[in-house]
Amino acid sequence: MTAMVKAEGVHKSYGAAHILKGIDLEVAAGEVFCLIGPSGSGKSTFLRCINHLEKINAGRLYVDGELVGYRQKGDKLYELKDNEVALKRRDIGMVFQRFNLFPHMTALENVMEAPIQVKGESKAVARERAGKLLDRVGLADKAGNYPSQLSGGQQQRVAIARALAMEPKLMLFDEPTSALDPELVGDVLDVMRDLAESGMTMVVVTHEMGFAREVGDSLVFMDGGVVVESGNPKDVLTKPQHERTKAFLSKVL
């Protein structure tokens, strides 16, 4: 079976700063794949490389069997044009730490926007789907609210609905609960758990070890731009093999 995400020797630098130092990993279709590690270890950078918000400097990155950002002809790689990258990015939903909803649009309008603008969908179809998605994230009664009239947790759930409106085959989550007050985290994690149960392939950068243990199928511990340890979340979290993993977990568990 084709992996949904495959990284082979992925390197990424910002100027002289070498951030990702040869990442190899595979995310199977339908899998919930959690990335943990200390601040600055390159987790967000790796996530951003998956949808080509960042360009990699070496290695190969594939989504659903296709090279990210390039086309291969023989042994040569040709960079995709912006419109080609945008077309591929449609299939990948991303949820950020900061929800970045459009402030002048209601929750419903936020969820309707991309299918109309990007796919040229009719308003009626987009509205119907948006209503269903808001219901799915428990916010049917907030459809008419503007972001400023929603809590952080509710805004994040709208952001998840907005990403799902494009019917992605892969969802990327970059610390989706870190900016939230503790009492709002649970509702967002519940939505993510439901999404996982529906079979969505998810790559989740998280500090929520409970979520990783209960919902994750695989877990990778990154440090200093390399994968230090990976495996079944329960095994890695309860029986870490590497000193660096042990040291990190002793601080966060």
Ligand X SMILES: Nc1ncnc2c1ncn2[C@@H]1O[C@H](COP(=O)(O)OP(=O)(O)OP(=O)(O)O)[C@@H](O)[C@H]1O
Min separation Cβ 204 and ligand X, Å? 12
Min separation Cβ 182 and ligand X, Å? 18
How many chain residues interact with ligand X (CB under 6 A)?
Answer: 11
Tell me which amino acid residue 216 is. Answer: G
Class of residue 66 by CB neighbours under 10 A (exposed 0-12, middle 13-18, buried 19+): middle
Phi–psi pair at 5, nearest 5 degrees: -130, 135
Residue 199 binds ligand X, judged by CB under 6 A: no
CA-atom Rg of the chain in angstroms: 18
Residue 16 binds ligand X, judged by CB under 6 A: no
Which CB sits closer to ligand X, 86 or 252? 252
Residue 37 binds ligand X, judged by CB under 6 A: yes
Q: Which residue from 4, 7, 10, 19 is in contact with ligand X, where contact means CB under 6 A?
A: 19
Q: Which of residues 44-103 bind ligand X (CB under 6 A)?
A: 44-45
CA of residue 213 relative to chain centroid, distance: 17
Class of residue 160 by CB neighbours under 10 A (exposed 0-12, middle 13-18, buried 19+): buried
Element containing residue 3 per DSSP (H, E)? none
Min separation Cβ 46 and ligand X, Å? 7
Min separation Cβ 19 and ligand X, Å? 4
Residues binding ligand X (CB under 6 A): 14, 17, 19, 37, 39-45
